[in-house]
Chains A and B, each alone.
Chain A
Amino acid sequence: MNLKKMQIVFGLVLVLSLILSACTPETVTVVEEVEVPVEVEVEVPVEKEVFVEKQTVIYNSMNGDPDPRAADEEIVKRFMEANPDTEVIHSIVAHEDFKTAIRAYLTASTPPDVLTWFAGNRARFFIDNDQIMDISDVWESEGWNESYPKGFQAMSTVDGAQYFLPTSWYWWAVYYRVSVFEELGLEVPETWDEFLAVNETLKENGYTPIAIGTKYRWTAAAWFDYLNMRINGPQFHIDLMLGKESYDDPRVAEVFKYWRVLLDNGYFLEDAAAYSWSEALEPFIAGEAAMYLMGDFIRDSLPDEVEADLDFFRFPIIDPSMPIGEDAPTDGYFLSANAANPEAAKAFLAYLGSVEVQTYNAETLGRLPTNSGVDRSLFTESQQKGMELIDGADFVAQFYDRDTTPEMADEGMNAFMAFWDDPDSIETLLADLEAARQEIFLEE
């Protein structure tokens, strides 16, 4: 008797869940089809009544590190002081979490209005999927078409319209401890042979030549980027990133031959996979490791006395006949295509792209501004040197995981780590990567 009743209840549950599950996909599409402006019309008047004409802008950023966080909050504060009728609701989410959550933000019924993001392929993906608002009018009214260099304009433009606001960028280079180089009488290496000689001298004298922490893998991707650009040229590199060249090309195998020399000679920090990039700074700060291939944000995490002992040089030239490519990732902002309050959001965006904010960021964080209206004489010596480094490049790439698709980057970086562990397996690894490339880029 009891069993029978249980069966009936279970049967009911099953039937109900089937019905519900059959409904779910449809309800989802219904939600997507609802036009957001309808909701806005309902919401805005209510808020107006409450706040008396106060407009709101929802701003989500990924400036989680201490210094950038403080700067970000300061900028929002200043904007609200200058525009008392606008309220900016600001939330900061850590970098990795932000990357994970952004698709959920954008597809929510009330997405954030202004978001931080990466220029290039990563932004292009959202533009192609109609998630980013056309902000050509802001570019026009703010005069950015004149005040932003051509390269940054091109980066933000798709089919003649602007969608992105690049605000800051930084360069990659080989950072080194000046005192260690001086002690051993080392010169800054310009060619590959000189670079190997520097490594050997450092190693003989008991130093770890190159610090690196590969727990989150992207630090190794920087080595791939540079070796590939130096050996095969930036054009081949970027074509590989876009899926137009294949990973089983002998030119790619060549990259790993060079890489392997560094691994076989033990020039990299031991047990690199156990450290994050900042944990691997420890021996660099202690003066036990001499060099670190890193972006300029390395400064944010160094104590002042180490920063005073820090300099950088261009990744050594391998094939002098190749044009020079550099990694210089650009960060910026975009407006969500479904922003609830486009006018206020555009006003905030205009402020973010202004000379005032970019000057503030350049001064406090040492990032390089994109707006050429910023007074260059304010730059520190290292900023000047970084600008020269990039000015001297024939091609500027973003970074491995920004230039190629997230999926391909994941496969690639895993292969780099497997190669690091077992360099003999490179042939199979590249064959696997090629299979992954064909699948990933065929799908798109």
Chain B
Amino acid sequence: MSRTKRDIIPYLFLVIPVLIYIIWVIAPMFYTFYLSLTNWNGLTTPEFIGFKNYTKLFNDKVFYISLINNLKWLGVFITVPVALGLGLAMMLNTAIPGEKFFKMTFYMPMVLAMVVSGLIWGWMYHPKGGLINTVIVSAGVMAKGPGWLSDRDIVLWSIIIVAIWRQVGYVMVLYLAGLKSINPQLLEAATVDGANRWQVFWGIILPLLTPVTVIVLVISVIDSLRAFDLVSVMTRGGPANASSVLANFMYIESFNNYKMGYGAAIAVILFLISLSFIALYLWRVMQDEMEY
């Protein structure tokens, strides 16, 4: 085989997947960007209006509510499920009785579709007949349980709890895999040198888990930015936009109000936010690679 042939063949194999990727991912991305500069109701030809959609967006209260809700979601998501998942992984990594059963139980929510989780929890949050309020009332904690999905102050947190419930098991599995790859001799050596369990955890286990942590954080960031299913199923962003997130806002504007251009502008902003996080991650990964 000649040199040139050997060089070209891999690219020939790549042509089809790259083409598919361009047609279904890259091109729609640019088309969305173009749409965001138009006024389009889904019927007429898109009319070019420059950056008007963006100026309108930056003056839209709902946009800021959704953005802040996304940020709250993000803040909780990169801390709570990560800490809980790591804690569970540490516990279940030791040989305790029924360890397989617990692993399976904690991972179970991940197997359910988002929509199903949303529906189940929607019933649990039911103000009168729901599991949670029935327990609260019959235990005598409160005369009347809170309106989990109807109170503007707590509705977002009620939804985030469901997301956390789902995410913890996933994080746990990732960390368990990470823990398996740690050489036990390192831990033994540290113990022999007189390190206590906390010191072993902070000084050895956690640093060795860094690659897993980075992946977990990236997944958490992406999941919190694309949050949509739970909100759409449980509240549709209500009451009065209190639980709206950017993806839901985009959906309502495009497919309920038929403002495709405006919806596209929201999509572009969401894309830019995601991109900045992903760029940060890629930059970090590349730096790490340079070191070795």
A70 interface contact, C-beta 8 A: no
Q: Is B4 an interface residue (CB 8 A)?
A: no
Q: Are B45 and A32 in contact (CB under 8 A)?
A: yes
Q: Is A226 an interface residue (CB 8 A)?
A: no
Which residues of A lie under 8 Å from residue B120 when comparing CB positions? none
Asked if A29 and B45 make an inter-chain contact with CB atoms under 8 angstroms apart, the answer reads: yes
Check if B42 sits within 8 Å of A103, measured CB to CB.
yes
Check A129/B255 contact, CB under 8 A, given A13-B22, A274-B126. no
| B:86-129 near A, CB below 8 Å | 125-129
Give residues 122-160 of B contacting A (CB, 8 Å).
125-129, 144, 147-150, 152
B80 at the interface (CB under 8 A from A): no
Q: Which of B24-55 contact A (CB under 8 A)?
A: 26-27, 29-31, 33-34, 39, 41-46
Cβ of A217 under 8 Å from chain B: yes
- Measured in the bound complex, the distance between the Cα atoms of B25 and A21 in whole Å is 11
What chain A residues lie within 8 Å of B256 (beta carbons)? 99-100, 406, 410
The answer to whether residues A24 and B34 also contact, given A103-B258, A271-B127, A414-B241 and a CB cut-off of 8 A, is yes
A421:B44 contact, CB within 8 angstroms: no
Whole-angstrom CA separation of A255 from B201 in the bound complex: 64
- Select which of B11, B30, B240 is within 8 A of A417 by beta carbon: B240
B10 to chain A, nearest CB (A): 9
Q: How far is the CA of A32 from the CA of B45 in the complex (A)?
A: 9
Compute how far the CA of A320 lies from the CA of B190 in the bound complex, rounded to whole angstroms: 88
CB distance from A3 to the nearest CB of B (A): 10
Given contacts A29-B45, A214-B239, A274-B150, contact A13 B26 (CB under 8 A): yes
Min CB–CB distance B241 → chain A (angstroms): 6
Answer whether residue A261 sits at the interface, using C-beta atoms and an 8 A cutoff. Answer: no
Tell which of B22, B144, B255 touches A16, judged by Cβ atoms closer than 8 Å.
Answer: B22
Contact present for A274 and B22 (CB under 8 Å): no
Q: Does the CB pair A216–B23 fall under 8 Å?
A: no
Contact check: which of B31, B149, B150 meets A21 at CB < 8 Å?
B31
Question: Count of chain B residues with Cβ under 8 Å from any Cβ of A?
Answer: 45
Whether A407 pairs with B259 at a CB distance below 8 angstroms is yes
Q: Are A20 and B258 in contact (CB under 8 A)?
A: no
CB <8 Å contact, B258 and A274: no
Q: Give which listed residue, B42, B56, B144, B152, contacts A107 with CB less than 8 A.
A: B42
A370: interface (CB < 8 Å):
no
Contacts of B23 in A (CB 8 A): 20
Q: Does A270 contact B (CB under 8 A)?
A: yes
B126 / chain A contacts, CB cutoff of 8 Å = 274
Q: Is the CB of B150 within 8 A of A272?
A: yes
User: Is B166 on the interface with A (CB-CB < 8 A)?
Assistant: no
B29 to chain A, nearest CB (A): 8
Contacts of A434 in B (CB 8 A): none
**Chain A residues at the B interface, C-beta cutoff of 8 Å:** 9, 13, 16-18, 20-21, 24-25, 29, 32, 99-100, 103-104, 106-107, 126, 129, 131, 214-217, 270-274, 282, 406-407, 410, 414-415, 417-418, 420-422, 432, 439, 443
